[in-house]
Every structure is written in structure tokens, then in C-alpha cells.
Amino acid sequence: MKLIVDTHAHLCDPVFDPDRETVLERARTAGISAVIAVSENMADARKNLLLASGHSMIRPAAGLYPTHLDLELAAKMRDFIRSHRDKLVAIGEVGLDYWMVKEESDREIQREIFRSFIDLSKELMLPLNVHSRSAGRHAVDALLETEAVKVQLHAFDGKASAALPAVEAGFYFSVPPSVIRSDQKQKLVKKLPLSALLIETDSPVLGPVPQERNEPANARIVVQKISELKEIAVEEVLEAIAENARRLYGEIFS
């Protein structure tokens, strides 16, 4: 049986500091082989590298959450990513957030920073792990306009019609455990091809139960729900998502 990659989680979050080892052991028991640990800021990125050095399951990513509207900070993050290219599996999370950022002038800065990370992704050939809350269509447009190549859109909250051009471009969409209680995400899973789906948890949020801490072991719940929604065998889902993770992230997840 194929193992599962949790392609987007915040394992650096202090909420995991007291029991991170136990959390990872539960993940192993649930069939999770690896967790991509994303960052929101420089402290997260450094902590991810440190955690990965002591945990074979953790694969570090580095990125700047899109509410950081600081061009200088974004430049420092790009320099950090370049200098640690050999240790990172992705640039993320980066992207757009129109739910938090309302002013058009601020959104333009956000778009500029996002484009800079897209360019860096192409330069370094690192996948992008993309946040696009309330900005799904805009994020897809930016990715297509800049000819992004290796892309994962995490917890996409838009309509399938906004996602389909990204599917055609070869991008992937990762599904969190909140799919069991989200009509929007269930509709997305039904309408997108299995070949475009990945699994994530977004731990410690977007779990199966609102307001309860989420963790990587819950990735197994997503597999079961995709199987149910698409009316296919669990093993078929596992085979597909393993192949999708390998295609996007390379042989490290084969």
C-alpha cells in the first residue's frame, strides 16, 4: 500500500512544541510517510530546517505568508531560500490573501511579492506551495501569466471553474481534512480529476473538527473522503496521490 505525503502543514507552530514527537509517531502509524513543513516567516523557515535535521519525516519549505506586505522582508526570504536551496523541497507558503488584505494598493504589493516568488521558483526549479484565500482566480491568473511550472494550490477556496485552467496547466490542488465538513471542498474534489489532487492537513488548522488542533495523522481522513466522493477504491486514491506527489516533488516522495 502506498504511503501518504502531507503536502502542507505548520509543524513549526508552537502548539506542537510539547508533543511533536508523539504527533509524528501518530502520523507514521496512520501511514503518513512525509510532511512538508511550510513557513509563514523567517523564524518559521529557520525552525523548519532545524526540525527537519532531526526528523526524517519532515521536509522543510520556506516562504512568506501573503499578509506580510514588506518588499525588503520578501527579498531577505528569497535570499534565504537561495542559500538553502539544497535543503528545501518547496517555496511556501506564498501567494495572495484578499480576505485579510482589502486595500487595492496593499494587494498590488502582495501581487508583486507573489510574482517574485514565482520567478524564484522557476529560477531554482522548486515547487510553489500557494495560499490563495478569497483570491483563487487571481492567484491562478498570476501563475498562468508568469508561466509558473511546479505549483500546488493549498486548501483552494474558490469554485471549480476557477481551478480548471490551473488543472489544464498541470497544477495540483491539495485537500485538507476539513473536506468532511465543507461543501465547497467536496464540490471541488468531485469536479477536479484525481490526477490533480494532493493531500494536506494544514495542521494545526482545517481539521475534521472545528477549533480542535489538527495534525498530520488526519491526512488519512482525506483519502477516505476522496474515495467516497469519487466513488473509487481507497487504494486507487492512494496510488494516484502518491504518483501526483512524486511528479510535483520528485523522487524524494517516490
Q: What is the pLDDT of residues 133-178, one digit of tens each?
A: 999 999 999 999 999 999 999 999 999 999 999 999 999 999 999 9
Q: What is the pLDDT of residue 252?
A: 66
Q: What is the pLDDT of residue 253?
A: 65
Pick the closest to residue 93 from 138, 130, 42, 143 (CA basis). 130
- 174, 199 in Cβ contact below 8 A? yes
Over pLDDT 90: what percentage of the chain?
97
Q: What is the pLDDT of residue 24?
A: 98
Instruction: Tell me which residue range forms the domain holding 61.
Output: 4-253
Tally of domains in the chain: 1
pTM of the model: 0.97
- How far is Cα 159 from Cα 114, in angstroms, rounded to an integer? 21
pLDDT in tens, 59-110: 999 999 999 999 999 999 999 999 999 999 999 999 999 999 999 999 999 9
- How far is Cα 30 from Cα 207, in angstroms, rounded to an integer? 15
Using CA atoms, how far residue 211 sits from 22, 27, 30, 35, 200, in Å, is 20, 20, 22, 22, 18
Please name the residues in contact with 251: beta carbons below 8 A apart, sequence gap of 6 or more.
none
Q: What is the CATH number of the domain that holds 194?
A: 3.20.20.140
29 grid coordinates: 502509524
Q: What is the pLDDT of residue 3?
A: 87
pLDDT in tens, 174-196: 999 999 999 999 999 999 999 99
